[in-house]
């Protein structure tokens, strides 16, 4: 049995344009092309498309997916490996969802109290998040800053559990103060807001001394990367953008 490109697009949710692109880059060739010029696909191609979509769900790029699929010799074994990774990702996302739900419950329980509600155990805000994801992102976005990142990682790895917890508490407290400033309508260039950004900047200076451009790039990831955005938005909606704007002001006025 075979299916047209339109049928495959309809059943998979992958647009016909994307399927043609996959063909052009050698990722997913159709089973053949009919005399009328229309591509058609058979079960073999549908199974490969499923694997492509599975690997996309695991945040792999098309080049990496092509390399993985080209190396595999046993499709069933490969599917079992993908299934194991998906189950692991499901469990991780379940922990993250539990973390966010717990934060919502705490904030709702204290709703109506003056100022920003205080989290009982702020270190719990980050339970379930995978730090290795951020390491790879930093290496990708700032390949020229790898030595600085390595120094920063060495520093954080050297901290005791108590020191790590204290740092997390301080970080969350700073986020809450920024949220209070945002909710009270304080402009991002206000000295109070800029002092919070300066304090955050001073924390990273021992291991990384970013210039204005690098600091702005870091600020933009707070909005462009869903993982970072979620960390801010669970404190207060709009906080990621507020941080970004405040950091841009700091970069423009304080950094070379």
- CA 5 from centre of chain: 32
Residue 155 domain flag: yes
Q: Establish if 76 belongs to a structural domain.
A: no
Indicate if 144 and 204 belong to the same structural domain.
Answer: yes
Identify whether 118 is part of a domain: yes
Task: Kindly report the pTM of this predicted structure.
Answer: 0.47
pLDDT recorded at residue 144: 54
15 and 135 assigned to the same domain = no
Provide the domain limits for residue 228: 83-254
Report if residue 78 sits inside a domain: no
DSSP 3-state assignment of 238?
A: coil
In-domain check, residue 141: yes
Whether residue 16 lies inside any domain: the answer is yes
**169 and 54 housed in the same domain:** no
Q: In angstroms, rounded to a whole number, what is the distance separating the alpha carbons of residues 85 and 68? A: 14
Q: What is the pLDDT of residue 48?
A: 87
* Residues 143 and 198 both lie in one domain: yes
Are 56 and 99 in the same domain? no
Could you tell me the CATH number of the domain that includes residue 56?
Answer: 1.10.1660.10
Tokens of 108: 């709702």
Residue 105 and residue 48 share a domain: no
Same domain, yes or no: 196 and 138: yes
Q: Is there a single domain that holds both residue 61 and residue 166?
A: no
Same domain, 168 and 188: yes
Query: What is the structure's pLDDT at 150?
Result: 61
Quick one: 226 and 170 in the same domain?
yes
Q: What is the pLDDT, as a whole number, of residue 60?
A: 76
Q: Is residue 167 part of a domain?
A: yes
Mean pLDDT by 10 residues, the chain (256 residues): 90 90 92 89 89 80 82 75 74 70 70 53 52 48 56 65 71 84 93 94 79 88 78 82 95 93
pLDDT at 91: 74
Per DSSP, the three-state class of 153 is helix
CATH number at residue 170: 1.10.490.50
Domains identified in the chain, total number? 2
Return d(Cα 150, Cα 145) in angstroms, integer: 9
In a domain, 28, yes or no: yes
Sign of the dihedral through C-alpha 185, 231, 155, 161: positive
- Among residues 41, 71, 101, which one ends one of the domains? 71
Q: Are residues 217 and 248 in the same domain?
A: yes
């Amino acid at each position: 049995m075979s299916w047209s490109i339109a049928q495959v697009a309809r059943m998979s949710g992958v647009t016909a344009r994307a399927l043609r692109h996959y063909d052009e880059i050698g990722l997913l060739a159709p089973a053949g092309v009919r005399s009328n010029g229309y591509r058609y696909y058979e079960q073999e191609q549908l199974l490969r498309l499923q694997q492509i979509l599975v690997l996309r769900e695991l945040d792999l790029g098309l080049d990496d997916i092509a390399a993985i699929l080209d190396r595999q010799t046993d499709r069933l074994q490969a599917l079992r490996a993908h299934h194991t990774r998906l189950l692991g990702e499901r469990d991780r996302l379940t922990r993250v969802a539990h973390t966010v739900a717990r934060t919502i419950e705490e904030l709702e329980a204290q709703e109506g109290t003056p100022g920003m509600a205080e989290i009982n155990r702020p270190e719990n805000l980050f339970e379930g998040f995978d730090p290795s994801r951020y390491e790879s992102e930093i290496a990708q976005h700032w390949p020229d800053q790898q030595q600085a990142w390595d120094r920063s990682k060495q520093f954080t790895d050297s901290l005791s559990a108590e020191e790590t917890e204290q740092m997390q508490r301080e970080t969350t407290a700073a986020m809450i103060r920024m949220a209070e400033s945002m909710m009270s309508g304080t402009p991002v260039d206000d000295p109070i807001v800029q002092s919070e950004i300066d304090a955050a900047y001073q924390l990273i200076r021992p291991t990384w001394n970013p210039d204005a451009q690098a600091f702005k790039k870091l600020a933009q990831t707070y909005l462009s990367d869903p993982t970072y955005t979620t960390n801010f938005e669970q404190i207060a909606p709009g906080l990621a953008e507020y941080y970004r704007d405040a950091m841009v002001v700091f970069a423009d006025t304080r950094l070379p």
